[in-house]
Structures are given as structure tokens and as C-alpha cells.
Structure 1
Amino acid sequence: MSENSLSEAEYDAITDAAAHWCMRLHAGDCTAEERRAFTQWHDADPLHAFEYAAMLEIWDVADHLPRSEPSPVVLPFKQRSRLRTYAVAAAVCLAALPLAAFTGWEAGWLPSAYEHFDAANGLRKVTLGDGSQVELNLGTELVYRNYKDQRQVTLKKGEAFFKVTHDRGHPFIVKAGDGQVRVTGTQFNVWKYEDQVRVMLLEGSVQISSDTQHAGVPLSPGMQASYHTGDATPQVAAIDPNDAGLAWRQGKLVLDNLALADALPLINRYLNKPVMLADANTGAIRIGGIYNINEVNNLVPSLPKVLPVYLTQNQDGNPVLNSIPRKAPKG
């Protein structure tokens, strides 16, 4: 289907459908049948996918709007349903109105800039609206928003290295998982995988918090902090001089004699289907080597050739590493 061949009504129908699916998929009562129907609609035409991706970005902005609301007005059911369908689009309409946009900017809840970046096919370097430089690892996705009182990046997944433009009166916030990194101007790396986050500081100073309830922990150059979802405070330690955590910037994955339990999170970030461990004994087996991040898929099937393991598959289709039992000595 060509966008140019569509009538205005047909194009509006696709936009309406995208808004509907965005609302339903974010609803707590969305059913498996609805999700299958959405996938069928989404994959039926590239324009469907494009409109839905655009609607998701609108939803993301709307999610940051103030939560206080005036007293509700009771409406007939059909009208309420229709309004809910267009609730996300209404946020953009608000931003499109100069007076409302100015008011939202002055109040500090509407950004003056919104940028989305991803590195689905390889390493990528981008410049944010404030001039800050960001290097994105393979498979990384982040969003940048510029508010009146702060610059804000949400690291949705992956890893990024930041060179932040100094602006003491306009702090730079990186949200990752439940926590955040707060800086004014510095160089640091943030890695997020599932519920794990690791921050490495090379230059300047930052404040790290693992959630929104506790005060930040200061980091100085040569230090790192890590946390999981649910942690009250991050764990802080010195960066090992031999740490190869930044080798990805040269397109390399370095595993320096790591236990599989520690190596798999580093490997899995580059895989569509993460590798699982059969048990703790398998996780204790150690692995080393230097690998090209674009060829990590080839690493998994080769592991039985270099380690005492064999591969199986679980019911979800994930490869599973199993240790080969040692034979008891004779005699």
C-alpha cells in the first residue's frame, strides 16, 4: 500500500487503528487474542508499522504529562471509549498549540525537543539537541527530551557512552531501569540488560540512584556503580584496570576468563534468543576470548567445541547450556 495512493479517510483510518492498538496493548486487560490480532494488523502493511511506531512515541511523551486532572465529566459509554482512543493523539495536539506548548514548557512538564535513536544494525554515533555526543552499542535504544529544568535521556535497552555538554544550571539525567544518573558535564558509560544496570565513570562526577526513593550516591572518575530493580542503593566499586567493559566501542566483546553466569548477560545483549544455564555447575564454567559483536550469534553454537558443555533447547526456544558430567576416575 502506497501512502500517496491513500485517501485522507483511509489514512485517518490507519491512524485511528494505530491509536486503538496503542491503547489496548497498554491496557491491563489486553488479551492474547487481541495481541495476535494486533500482530496480524501490524505486519499487514509497512504503513501500519510506521503509524504504530509514531503512536508509541506520542504515548511515551504523553506518559510524562502531569497526572493531576480536573473533576471528571460523566459521558455516555461510547463517547468515553472514543475519547480514550484519542487520548494519546490529544497530547500531540496540546504540543501543537503554541500557547499550550509554551505553558507546558514553562511548567517543566512538556519538552521543547524529543528525539528517538536506535542502533539496530550496528554501532552508531549521534549528537543530541544540546550538543552532547552519544555512542550507541549494537541493539541500543534511547530517547532524548529537553525540559526547562533538565535534559533527560531514557535508556530503554542496550548500552551507550556519553560525552555530555556542560551546563550546570540544566542537569543531564539518564534514566535506566528504576534508577538514574545525574550529571552536569562528564564522560560515562551506561549498560542496561533486563533488570541490571552498570555505570562506569571516566571523567567528571555523577550521582547514581537505584530508584526514585533514595538519595543519589556520588561517583568519581575510575569508579563504577551497579544495581538491579528493587535495590535500595547501588553497589559502588573501583573499575578494574583490566576491565574491558568499553571494548564495544571498537566493536569487540572481551570475555576475560569469566564464569558463564557472568559472561552470559554480556553475550545475551547481542542475541535475539538469550542463552540460558541449566544449573549452577554450568554457570561456574569459565570462558575467555575476544569476539566481534556483529558475530556473537556464531559464538553460541561453537561453545561445545571449546567448553565441556552441550546445547539443548527449552520450551520457549531458548538455547540452554548444560555441563558435561565428569567421569569418575577408575580404580
Structure 2
Amino acid sequence: MNQDRLNPSPDDAITDAAAHWCMRLHAEDCTALEHETFACWLAADPRHEEEYRAMLEIWQTADHLPRTATVIDFNQTVQQAPQVRNWRPLASAAALALLALPLAAWLGWTQGWLPNDYQHFETGDQRRTVQLSDGSQVELNLHSELTYLNYKDQRQVTLKRGEAYFTVQHDSKHPFIVRAGSGQARVTGTQFNVWKYQDQVKVTLVQGSVLVSSEGSTGGYRLGPGMQASYHSGDFEPQLAESDDYGNSLAWRQGKLVLDNLSLEQALPVINRYLDAPLQLADPATGRIRISGIYSTREVRRLVDSLPKVLPIYLTRSKDGSTVINSILPPPNKG
């Protein structure tokens, strides 16, 4: 979707239809006939599903959907619905709804309820650099995903998973907000990195300033260059740190994973980011063993296989198939 959608053209028919179905499927008076018609529309063209997904995410982000929203399972094959005999009442209702959409979109934008732009990016085994519609640039690490929504009063990014380095286009009247986990980072124009694994988040500032707030904090904490803020879900406030070697956190931009004298407890979230199945620690004592080294982000599996060669540990399999790191106990003292 792009900014021109506020001035609809005939090419926007799919977008308008997706918006119509988004409204109807989440309405309490939505009928079985409408569900069948929607299934036919969804199966008619792959673009229909793509546009409906985008519209659904925008509405959910804007909190315009009721809590009893219908869940559409796109993984199931859509079955061909029986032929609908009387289309005229449904077509008339759809036409009226489509006529109202441009006005509703304009009102939603002017009130700051709805965005006028939506972008979604996702990476697999390759890093990727993308440009947002506001001119900001984002470098995405492996296996990362984010969405961008442009509102009248703010630019909003949600980092769903992975890691991203932001070079934000300055706009003091249009703040740039990155939501990750249970907190957020707010800037007007700067360069910073956001790392997310499960419910853990770390924000590293390179240039400018950034205001970081977690779930329980009220005003947030402002970082200067070289500072980091980290938080977990449920933290009252983020933990702040200042380090001269924060560049280790940015080594992924060159395809490197740097472990600088970290305990295994600290290193595992960083390592697990690149694994299909996460490593586990057998006990707290194993987590206190320290590790150092520079590795390729594309060959983290090799790092795991080499751990018994460089650390006093051995690997086992748990009942669920996970790899478990166990420490090798030192021999008992004699005498």
C-alpha cells in the first residue's frame, strides 16, 4: 500500500475490497453468506490474500477491530463455496461501503487513527537493506521481520523478531518509534540498533539520542552515543550500560558474531538467534562458563559443534530433542 491510496483510482479496487471484507468479517452481523462470498474472493487471486493480510494488520495495529474478531486461517485451503443465487442485495451493500471508504480513510488519517502507508519486510538466510517510505534506511539481520506504519503524528515500526540497524530520516515533528517486545525506542532522527530474541530486547545507540522505555517505565531513559538499554517482558525499567566495545553488538552487519568473554548464560540468547532449535543449559554452573571468539553468522551451527573442543563441556539431547550443554566436572580433590 502507498500514500496515493488516499486518492483512490480504479487500480485500488483490490485494496477497497480488502478494506470492505476487513470491516464485514469483524462485524457482529456478518452472515454465513458473506463468509462464503469472502472465501470465493480470497481464492480468486493471490493478490487478494496479500492485500487482506496488509489491511488486517493495519486495522489491528490501530485497535479498530473488536476483541471478538474472526480469525482467518490462511494455511487452510479455501473451499469453493456453493453458487450464490441472489447477488443484488450484497452487491448494493458493497457498493455503498466502497463509496464510503475514501472518506473513512481520509478521516482516519487526519485524526491519527489510521496510517496512510504500510510496509512489511522479512529476511531469511540473507541480510537485507531496505528503505522506508519516509526515506529512513533499515539494515535487517538474518531471520528478521518488521512492519512500518506511517501516521499523521508519528512513524511506527514494529520489530517482530530478529535485529535491525536504523538510519532515521530526521523529522522533529514526526517522531520515529520502534516497538520491540514490551518496550519501545523513540527518536526523531538518529542511528541505532535494536536486537530482539523472545522477550529480550537490547537497544544500542550509535549517533544522536534515543528515548527508551520498557513496560513499567513512565518517562523513559535517554541514551547517548555508545550506550545500551536492555529489558525483558515485565521489567519495570530498562537496564542501562555504557561500553567502549559496543561495536561487538553491530558486528552482524559484517556477518560476524563476536563473543567477548561472555558467560554461556549471556551468550546463549545471542547464539540461539541464529539456530532453528535453541541450545539449553543443564544447570546454572554450566551457564557460568565463559566463551570468546569471532564466528560467521551463517555458520553458527559449526560453533555449536565445536563447543566441546574449546570448553569443558559436552552436549546431550533432551527428551524433546533439544541440545543441552553440560559442564565437565573437575576431578575431586584427593586427600
Q: TM-score range by the shorter chain?
A: 0.7 to 0.9
Work out whether residues 201 and 221 of structure 1, in 8 Å CA contact, stay in contact via their aligned partners in 2.
yes
> Could you tell me the TM-score, scaled by structure 2's length?
0.74
* Cα pair distance change 1:275/1:54, threshold 3 Å: farther
Amino acid at match of 2:266: D
Encode CA deviations 1:135-169: one digit per residue, 9 max, x unaligned.
11111110011001100000001111100000000
1:322 equivalent in alignment to 2:326:
yes
Indicate the residue corresponding to 2:270 in structure 1: 266
* Cα pair distance change 1:95/1:243, threshold 3 Å: farther
Distance 2:319 2:244 in 1: 39
Amino acid at match of 2:317: Q
1:275 equivalent in alignment to 2:279:
yes
| Displacement after TM superposition at 1:64 (Å) | 2.0
> Which of these residues, 54, 58, 73, is aligned with residue 55 of structure 2?
58
**Residues 238-249 of structure 1: pairs in structure 2 closer than 5 A:** 238-241=242-245, 243-249=247-253
Distance 2:46 2:317 in 1: 31
Encode CA deviations 1:234-253: one digit per residue, 9 max, x unaligned.
11121233651110010000
Distance 1:50 1:264 in 2: 40
> Which of these residues, 127, 130, 150, is aligned with residue 126 of structure 1?
130
> Which of these residues, 138, 141, 151, is aligned with residue 137 of structure 1?
141
* Cα pair distance change 1:253/1:213, threshold 3 Å: closer
**Residues 179-258 of structure 1: pairs in structure 2 closer than 5 A:** 179-211=183-215, 214-241=218-245, 243-258=247-262
> Where does the alignment leave 5 or more consecutive residues of structure 2 unmatched?
1-17, 27-43, 75-93
Work out whether residues 214 and 231 of structure 2, in 8 Å CA contact, stay in contact via their aligned partners in 1.
yes
| Displacement after TM superposition at 1:310 (Å) | 1.1
Work out whether residues 214 and 232 of structure 1, in 8 Å CA contact, stay in contact via their aligned partners in 2.
no
Distance 1:303 1:187 in 2: 34
> Could you tell me the TM-score, scaled by structure 1's length?
0.75
| Displacement after TM superposition at 1:213 (Å) | 5.9
Work out whether residues 94 and 101 of structure 1, in 8 Å CA contact, stay in contact via their aligned partners in 2.
no
Q: What SS does the corresponding residue of 1:248 show, helix, strand or coil?
A: helix
| Displacement after TM superposition at 1:85 (Å) | 6.2
Distance 1:215 1:151 in 2: 19
Q: What SS does the corresponding residue of 1:246 show, helix, strand or coil?
A: helix
* Cα pair distance change 1:213/1:68, threshold 3 Å: farther
Indicate the residue corresponding to 2:166 in structure 1: 162
Q: How many equivalent pairs are there? A: 273
Indicate the residue corresponding to 2:289 in structure 1: 285
Higher-Rg member (1/2):
2
Deviates more, 1:101-110 or 1:166-175: 101-110
